[in-house]
Amino acid sequence: MRMGPGACRIAIRRVVARAIAGAPVACLPLPALLRESLSMVGSIVAQETEIAAGSIERRIRRAALGVVVVTLLAAAVCLLIANDRLERALLGRDIQAERDFMMRLVDPQAAFVWETATVHGVWVPDALQDSTPIPALFRDRPFPFTGEAEVDGTPFVFDSSPVEGGRLYLAKDVGLYERQDLAFKQILLVMSLAVAALAMLLAYVASRRLVAPLVRLAREIEDIEPASSMARLSEAGTDLELQVVVRSFNRLLEEVESYVRREKTLLGMASHELRTPVSIVAGALDGIEARAMISPVDAKAMRRIRRAIDEMDASVDAILKLTRYGDLGTQPVALLPVIRETLDDLGTMHAVHARVQVHEAAAPVVTADPVLVKMLIRNLLHNALRHTSGAVHVSVAAGNVEISDEGPGLPQRSRALLAGAPPAPEQAATGLGLFIATLVCERLQWRLEQDATAPGGTRLRLGFAAASHAAGEESPRHD
């Protein structure tokens, strides 16, 4: 969950309140207080890191926050070390000043006790060591003794040591130093959190400004629609680093458009070259049929030739449609009649009546281009019949058509085609036909997939969105 500016301010106020409140923070030593002062910043950075994957803006923000946190941590450590050393130096100077002051006041031959609000001192000559009572503040500690100790909740610094002619006991109340040190740490904590909050705000604003040109460029690219002529990206107002990207992208668009123009020209010429002989053959058939001088057997052959010519012309149109952008000429198409008609056409080349069995569980009607639909059905059925010698089953359901055979199964290259790979240059016509089938399915927005759970042979499932269907009982039909 991302922490916004409001939540960040609330969290900072809570930590600052703990620092000012007293005991929980007052008891922290220097390293623990550092951890307390940076714990909130660390949690914020961790949250930013968790959501930063895949976003340039967030990576910039994370990097900026990381730099600020590391710099802040180093500065805080340096300040605390310097403060600690300065405090020790001042305290040592004060202790030495108190010693010098007491030594000027004492009588070398008589015991002397000195007490103020913050300093306790005792002077005992060597001749009176056994007869002079030592105050309880010093009695419970060894002699000589130099160090810090707490007495009844009050921190003291002790400096008991022998001097010329006797012993000097000195203890200084350092509660004021401790309070000043705590106040310094609390101020450092508040300042660190304030700097962290300001760094978060500046990192957010800076990252947005840094990635704004890239975001605008991405939106311009996203708005470009594929077409024969596409808009170019403008270099005006674009940063120097991104101008290389803009020029490269515009050059890519020019290459794509040039390629599309060449392909369209080639397809136009190919369609013209294909249709010319088809038209000649069709005209010759018209002339032969007009003379009415053919036998019934020849008439049947002529009808097959006419059907082949019509299918070739339709196939040329279908291939051209695959290469064009824009909407297809769609209309309601009943799949069962298309399947039956295709099987009748293939009956001249294969033993359709003996090998093919159609299972009609529904009569789906789809909204699609009829030429592409027939081309797709013919391609799949023709491949199943040509590459196997056993039975072929066609199952028609409400939302799919399954074509299964009893052959050896699809080779690896054909399975790769179904997964979207282009055909290899040396691939046989079977692979190319299957590749065309995948292109037709892509154009129709249908699904063509292999059923891997089939016990034997190959089972291809053609999925589609049916406009309407008439459900019925499964009735085997032999064609």
Question: Which tokens is 460 given?
Answer: 């291809």
The number of C-alpha atoms within 13 Å of 393 and in the hemisphere containing its C-beta is 20
Average pLDDT over residues 267-283: 78
Average pLDDT over residues 290-304: 79
Q: What distance in Å separates the CA atoms of residue 22 and residue 16, rounded to the nearest whole number?
A: 11
Cα torsion 214, 216, 218, 220 to 10°: value is -150
- For tokens 């975001």, the residue is 215
CA distance readout (Å), 442 to 99, 280, 323, 452: 97, 33, 12, 21
Instruction: Tell me what pLDDT residue 258 has.
Output: 87
Using an 8 Å Cβ cutoff, are 207 and 64 in contact?
Answer: yes
How do residues 301-314 score in pLDDT, each as one tens digit? 887 888 778 777 76
Per DSSP, 141 falls in state S
Q: Taking Cα atoms as reference points, which of 34, 39, 27, 64 lies closest to residue 49?
A: 64
How do residues 87-102 score in pLDDT, each as one tens digit? 888 888 888 888 888 8
As to burial, measured by CB atoms within 10 angstroms (0-12 exposed, 13-18 middle, 19+ buried), residue 244 is: exposed
Using an 8 Å Cβ cutoff, are 173 and 156 in contact?
Answer: yes
Please tell me whether residue 70 adopts helix, strand or coil conformation.
helix
299 compared with 52, residue with greater pLDDT: 299
Using an 8 Å Cβ cutoff, are 158 and 148 in contact?
Answer: yes
Helix axes 335-346, 370-386, angle to 10 degrees: 50
Per DSSP, 151 falls in state E
Q: What distance in Å separates the CA atoms of residue 472 and residue 361, rounded to the nearest whole number?
A: 6
| Concatenated DSSP letters of 189-242 | HHHHHHHHHHHHHHHHHHHHHHHHHHHHHHHHHHHPPPSSS-PPPP-TT--HHH
**Residue 156 Rama label (left phi>0; alpha psi -120 to 50; beta):** beta
Give residue 25's pLDDT band: very low, low, confident or very high (50, 70, 90): very low
Instruction: Tell me what pLDDT residue 421 has.
Output: 62
Residue 51 has pLDDT above 70, yes or no: no
Using an 8 Å Cβ cutoff, are 325 and 228 in contact?
Answer: yes
Q: What distance in Å separates the CA atoms of residue 391 and residue 388, rounded to the nearest whole number?
A: 8
How do residues 354-404 score in pLDDT, each as one tens digit? 899 999 999 999 999 888 898 889 888 888 888 888 899 999 999 999 999
Which residues face 405 on adjacent strands? 392
Average pLDDT over residues 463-477: 55
Please tell me whether residue 461 adopts helix, strand or coil conformation.
strand
Q: Taking Cα atoms as reference points, which of 437, 429, 439 lies closest to residue 460?
A: 437
How do residues 210-246 score in pLDDT, each as one tens digit? 888 888 888 888 888 877 778 888 888 778 888 888 8
